[in-house]
């Protein structure tokens, strides 16, 4: 979720407190060593307690180790541990979002338990989906607050799971950037859904709830900005058009291009992002012809095809989507 390049920059930024530099350096080391192996076996062993409308929400505590899932957190809905309580509450809401907005039964559409492991490592400044569960760090309290505070971060990691069970996009090059973009736009969509915001009222920021006091003092109000990918107030500066795409670059960085296309389409159509544009993006992601190596342009064409299927009488929506992809120079 936090790009390696950003962690590297922060770990060497002399103006930041020593504890923050050490925390980001350690996080970078973990990211470089960590292997994204699936936790499907663990999922089968964990059972199905704390059911939430057909899908199970489970929260585990790593106790600052790097061995998820950890131990089960009892009574997560009423826990005095903010990370446990937030992970449970927001993931439970996400179950409802998937069901009500995407007509999807959990990550795999078959009621898969949603497992969250909190308190991963010490001052770990990141979060990730490992193939079977979501894992969250506590941040260092200086640059980053606890990652379970952020509904869009939680939505981001869960959507990596949804992508795994649909298009199964690669994590490199254009499909990798598309993978990260899908997680960002649906994470933002989930945050907007919680607040019942329309597209014009949303701030389209990713990670604004986890920015620590030193980050804010430096003028960084978010991790990424979907509406303005290159914003100086964003910790991560992203390209916004395809002519700025970096071949074989970090997928988190190149994700700004398709993310801005989503924003432009949503803004042009108006209303609630999950009611039309979100449905179209999800239909394209789950299309049978979507492939692991899908490029930006191939996905763009799938969104146009999905629009015609879902809203055949709304040529203005199709025009808005095509114009958005053209604006970011993905389609001619």
Within 8 A by CB and 6+ apart from 77, the residues are 50, 85, 88, 89, 92
pLDDT of 1 higher than 90: no
pLDDT at 36 > cutoff 50 = no
What single string gives the DSSP state of each residue in 242-310? GGG--TT--HHHHTHHHHHHHHHHHHHH-S-TTTTHHHHHHHHHT-TT--TT--HHHHHHHHHHHHHHH
Q: What DSSP letter does each residue of 85-134 carry, written as one string?
A: HHHHHHHHHHHHHHHHHH---STTSS---EEEEES-TTT---EEE-SS-E
- CATH 3.10.170.10 is held by the domain 36-149: yes
Q: How far apart are CA 12 and CA 210, in angstroms?
A: 21
Q: Is the pLDDT of residue 154 over 60?
A: yes
Indicate if the pLDDT at residue 116 is higher than 90. yes
For the chain, give the percent of residues with pLDDT over 90. 92
**Residue 188 · residue 197 · CB < 8 Å:** no
Encode pLDDT of 162-187 as tens digits: 999 999 999 999 999 999 999 999 99
- Position 41 scores a pLDDT of 40
Indicate the domain borders of the chain. Answer: 36-149, 173-327
CATH classification of 173-327 is 1.20.1250.20, yes or no? no
* Arithmetic mean of pLDDT over the chain: 93
Instruction: Give residue 50's pLDDT band: very low, low, confident or very high (50, 70, 90).
Output: very low
Catalytic residue among 133, 157, 174, 180: 157
Q: Does this model's pTM top 0.85?
A: yes
How far apart CA 307 and CA 327 sit, in angstroms, is 18
- Mean pLDDT across the stretch 107-115? 96
Rg of the chain on CA atoms, in Å? 19
Residue 147 CA neighbour count, 13 Å, CB half? 29
Q: Is the pLDDT of residue 46 over 80?
A: no
Angle at 221 between CA 133 and CA 324, to 5 degrees: 75
Name the burial class of residue 311, with classes exposed (0-12), middle (13-18) and buried (19+) by CB atoms within 10 angstroms of its CB: middle
Rounded to a whole number of angstroms, the distance between the first and last alpha carbons of the chain is: 31
Share of the chain above pLDDT 70, in %: 94
d(CA 306, CA 171): 24
Candidate from 8-17, 214-223, 277-286 with smallest mean pLDDT:
8-17
Q: Is residue 73 within 8 Å of residue 79, measured between CB atoms?
A: yes
Q: Report the pLDDT value the prediction gives residue 33, as an integer from 0 to 100.
A: 85
Among 202, 167, 198, 201, which Cα is nearest to 182's?
Answer: 167
What is the reported pLDDT for 34?
A: 75
pLDDT of residue 268: 98
The answer, yes or no, to whether residue 114 has pLDDT greater than 50, is yes
For residue 51, what pLDDT band results from cuts at 50, 70 and 90? very low
Q: How far apart are CA 41 and CA 112, in angstroms?
A: 12
CA-closest candidate to residue 222, choices 184, 189, 249, 251: 184
Determine the average pLDDT of the residues in 257-268: 98
Residues near 103 by Cβ (< 8 Å), separated by ≥ 6? none
pLDDT of the residue at 44: 42
| pLDDT band, residue 47 (cuts 50/70/90) | very low
Catalytic, 110? Answer no
Structure confidence at residue 54 (pLDDT): 59
Task: Say how far apart CA 248 and CA 68 lie, in whole Å.
Answer: 30
SS3 sequence, 189-243?
A: HHHHHHHCCCCCCCCCEECHHHECHHHHHCCCCECEECCCCCCCCECCCCCCCHH
Q: Do domains 36-149 and 173-327 have the same CATH topology?
A: no
107 to 12, 59, 97, 291: CA distances (angstroms): 37, 16, 11, 18
DSSP string, 141-206: SSSB--GGG-HHHHHHHHHHHHHHTTT---SSHHHHHHHHHHHHHHHHHHHHHHHT--TTT---EE
Predicted pLDDT at 322:
98
Mean pLDDT of the 86-105 span: 97
174 counts as catalytic? no
């Amino acid at each position: 979720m936090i790009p390696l390049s950003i962690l590297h920059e922060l770990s060497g930024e002399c103006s930041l407190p020593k504890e923050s530099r050490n925390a980001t350096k350690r996080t970078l080391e973990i990211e470089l060593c960590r292997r994204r192996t699936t936790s499907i076996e663990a999922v089968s062993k964990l059972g199905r307690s704390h059911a939430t409308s057909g899908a199970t929400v489970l929260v585990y505590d790593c106790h600052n180790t790097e061995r998820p899932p950890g131990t089960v957190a009892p009574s997560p809905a009423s826990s005095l541990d903010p990370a446990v309580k937030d992970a449970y509450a927001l993931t439970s809401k996400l179950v409802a979002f998937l069901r009500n907005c995407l007509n999807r039964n959990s990550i795999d559409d078959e009621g898969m338990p949603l497992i969250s492991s909190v308190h991963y490592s010490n001052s770990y400044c990141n979060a990730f989906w490992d193939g079977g569960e979501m894992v969250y760090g506590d941040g260092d309290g200086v640059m980053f607050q606890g990652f379970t505070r952020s509904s869009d971060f939680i939505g981001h990691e869960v959507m990596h799971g949804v992508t795994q069970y649909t298009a199964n996009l690669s994590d490199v090059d254009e499909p990798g950037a598309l993978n990260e973009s899908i997680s960002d736009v649906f994470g933002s969509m989930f945050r907007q859904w919680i607040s019942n915001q329309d597209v014009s009222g949303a701030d389209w920021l990713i990670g604004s709830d986890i920015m620590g006091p030193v980050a804010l003092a430096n003028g960084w109000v978010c991790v990424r900005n979907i509406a303005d990918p290159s914003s100086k107030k964003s910790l991560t500066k992203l390209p916004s058009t395809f002519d700025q795409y970096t071949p074989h670059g970090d997928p988190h960085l190149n994700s700004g291009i398709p993310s801005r296309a989503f924003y432009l389409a949503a803004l042009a159509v108006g209303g609630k992002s999950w009611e039309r544009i979100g449905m179209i993006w999800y239909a394209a992601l789950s299309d049978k012809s979507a492939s692991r190596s899908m490029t930006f342009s191939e996905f763009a064409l799938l969104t146009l095809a999905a629009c015609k299927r879902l809203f055949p009488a709304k040529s203005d929506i199709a025009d808005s989507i095509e114009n958005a992809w053209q604006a970011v120079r993905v389609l001619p």
